Structure 1
């Protein structure tokens, strides 16, 4: 455990699954001192207070970020601009401002426009999560052996470079593997690895729900592993994913076009009985799965997740 905090004061704006997990993990690693939380929901604030997640708890972002060395926005992507503008008056010079959103181009634009030039804006994305939501859903181990991508500005500025190194050390202490990337490239990569799979899951579960020849009871009773996996993904926070698709639509539509072309080719192979093509595809995709498992990226939730409410 780190004995000297990397950030004496941290402010978290929005305290759902990711925000509360950052708080738990940072406390456990000893990398922060005082923690302030701004949360707009009165019910969520009550839960945060009951869980003892915050040293200071408020509905006002500007109050939460006052004197904070690290400010982390953990709100839905389309709420980021309003939250940043509300917090901006309280930001101290030299504060590092980051986020946990799944889209980086839009977030980088609104954070840079909303925050004063004296702040070090370094957008970020921890690639970790669960279908559960709310402050009670967080757990400290969420980021263990997961990737966190930072999309810093291209600046020839020693103080900014120092802020980037400090934020990298913070995420590393939380157990994450950290990589830097251009924001546009991040959004393209995540469109195929995360956003498109979620879109497919939402669609297939929605299609199943609309089938008149299959009752809902039968769907639940006879769900095989594949469909259960889709329902888990499709249970993700609807607000968050609505915002992701609206703010990363160009990359998502590009990947959706590629997927549609490949799906048509697969349809033709089934129609014409081209078993060799099907076997080749299935063999290739199985190797990709094995590679993911070998890298330890096969599950977002650890075995001890049942007890995470206690963290």
Structure 2
């Protein structure tokens, strides 16, 4: 929910209106699944069921990859020469600050998430890398239509998140 971890970072409404994805193994008793769904609903969450492999792919693109990118961007900024690093921090715009919020997350937790979900994460990273290369080519060759299309599609995603109250 936030970049903070542990009991002191708890929020009473952390799960309100958010999704809890249940991945019950085949053969799990329906009563047991309903009991877990009920617990999440009491906490204010919405629930959905899906198989574990599908869950891993979905969460890789909406959570794990954004964290990997945020950690990498902040690491790149930190690796810059001392005078440039200071300027990066001094003149950071809101986009970079948003990345730093994500990158402030618990390193042990995210290490474990990356290593335990590596197949789905690496699949999404590969797709992202191809798309990033395509965008870089569009910038290099001045393909304004391609760039504008990607931006417009991104804006639609943001609007959709707002419309369904997930942003």
Matched, 1:153 2:22: no
Report the Cα distance in structure 2 between the residues aligned to 1:278 and 1:214, rounded to whole angstroms.
32
1:297, CA displacement in angstroms?
1.1
Match among 81, 94, 108 for residue 212 of structure 1: 81
Q: Which structure 1 residue ranges, 4+ long, deviate > 4 Å from structure 2?
A: none
Q: Give CA-to-partner distance per residue, 1:265-291, whole Å, 9 cap, x none.
A: 111100011111101110111000100
Structure 1 or 2, whichever has the larger Rg, is 1
How many residue pairs match? The answer is 167
RMSD across aligned C-alpha pairs, in angstroms? 1.2
Cα deviation per residue 1:279-311 (whole Å; 9 max; x = unaligned)?
A: 11101110001001111111xxxxxxxxxxxxx
| Alpha-carbon displacement from aligned partner over 1:126-161 (angstroms, at most 9, x marks no partner) | xxx211122111011000000000111221x6xx21
Q: Structure 1 length as normaliser, TM-score?
A: 0.52
Shift of 1:219: 2.4
Provide, for residues 63-106 of structure 1, a one-character-per-residue CA deviation record: whole Å limited to 9, x for no partner.
xxxxxxxxxxxxxxxxxxxxxxxxxxxxxxxxxxxxxxxxxxxx
Secondary structure at the counterpart of residue 5 of structure 2: coil
What SS is found at the alignment partner of 2:20?
strand
Consecutive unaligned residues in structure 1, runs of 5 or more: 1-128, 299-311
Specify every segment of 5 or more residues in structure 2 that has no aligned partner in the other structure, as ranges.
none
Query: Equivalences for 1:14-29 in 2 at 5 Å?
Result: none
Corresponding position of 1:90:
none
* 1:138 equivalent in alignment to 2:10: yes
Distance 1:235 1:229 in 2: 10
The answer to whether the aligner puts 1:186 opposite 2:60 as a matched pair is no
Which residue does 1:228 correspond to in 2? 97
Cα offset, 1:213, TM superposition: 6.4
3-state SS of 2:13 partner? helix
Deviation at 1:218, TM superposition (A): 2.3
Q: Which residue of 2 aligns with 1:199?
A: 68
- Give 1 or 2: higher helix fraction: 2
RCO comparison, higher one (Cα < 8 Å, 6+) = 2
| Equivalence for 2:140 | 271
1:86 match: none
What aligned pairs does 1:1-311 form with structure 2 within 5 A after superposition? 129-155=1-27, 160-212=29-81, 214-298=83-167
**Distance in 2 of aligned mates of 1:214 and 1:223:** 14
Distance 1:178 1:209 in 2: 39
TM-score normalised to the size of structure 2?
A: 0.95
